[in-house]
Amino acid sequence: MDTFLYIVMMLLGFVGSFFSGLLGIGGAIINYPLLLFVPSSLGVADFTAHEVSSISMFQVFFASLAGVLAFRKKKNNKNTARIHAGLVLYMGISILCGSLIGGIASKYIVGDTINIIYGVLAIVAVVLMLIPNKGKQEDNAKQITFNKTIAVISAFIVGIVSGIVGAGGAFILIPIMLTVLKIPTRTTIATSLAIVFISAIGGVIGKITAGSIPITPTLFTVIGSILGAPLGSRMSAKINTKYLRYALVVLISFTAIKVWISIL
């Protein structure tokens, strides 16, 4: 049974990170319901909300690390947008503090409340995924200005809720950077990757402090995510992700409904 469990966990990590890389969204919004419902449906494990959020947080950490390393390999490409150091400084420090607080606080939050927070985030994610992104086209990072107060406050709030459910927060950060802070699209994508990685550092530290980490299942989920994210990123350049994105909206909506039904 343990072998089957580890295979399932690796496949879930692969699938979640594949679609994360394919569609350019935070992996946790996909991974959380997969980890919560699939193992229990197959009878191989029955993870609590605390355990699911811990597994998801570690997966986000290693997936975002792989993304940062992949970006560094492409940094000499003239078509690759530069990371905006100012945004990383202000939003990175803020989201690090928020995710650390959220990760530690999750220990004292009951499982149903964590599920409710995910349910709310899932609804937000669906709405944001249906709204066309309208970032600026000019991409000279040195000339970009932004409201530092909004950047800090929004990153801190995203960090807290992300730390609780084990997410990096990219699916919320990216729309905020595009529509509120008016950051150019390519700079947003590059910079959000670094910010999410910083968020994941705080979240992982918080989860380690809080405990409730199933180590071996987490390890196999991380292995699957490391394999899936690069493949999804490569596939995204070859196929039209528009219809897949709408399919994912349906999937997230379905899982959000399932979470709300289980709570109510």
Domain ranges of the chain: 2-263
Q: Are 160 and 98 in contact (CB under 8 A)?
A: yes
CA 47 – CA 62 distance, rounded (Å)? 21
Name residue, tokens 């596939």.
235
Torsion of CA 24, 244, 11, 25, to 10 degrees: 20
- CA–CA dist 60, 56 (Å, integer): 6
Is pLDDT above 70 for 135? no
- How far is Cα 145 from Cα 6, in angstroms, rounded to an integer? 47
Handedness of CA 51, 98, 65, 115 (dihedral sign): positive
**Does residue 208 carry a pLDDT above 60?**
yes
Q: Residue 164 pLDDT > 70, yes or no?
A: yes
Q: Let me know: does 25 contact 125? Beta carbons within 8 Å.
A: yes
User: Looking at the predicted structure, is the pLDDT value of residue 138 above 60?
Assistant: no
User: How much is the pTM?
Assistant: 0.78
132 has a pLDDT exceeding 70: no
Mean pLDDT is lowest, of 40-44, 127-131, 203-207, 236-240, for: 236-240
The confidence band for 248, taking pLDDT boundaries of 50, 70 and 90, is low
Residues in the chain, total: 264
The neighbour count for residue 120, using CB atoms within 10 Å, is 15
Read off the pLDDT band of 174 (50, 70, 90): confident
Joined tokens for residue 74: 């492409």
For 7, the token pair is 């295979």
Say what angle helices 28-42 and 49-73 make with each other, to 10 degrees. 130
pLDDT at 125: 74
Pair 192, 20: CB distance under 8 Å: no
pLDDT of residue 236: 65
Q: Which amino acid is at 39?
A: P
16 burial class (0-12, 13-18, 19+ CB within 10 angstroms)?
buried
Distant-in-sequence, close-in-space partners of 254: CB < 8 Å, separation ≥ 6: none
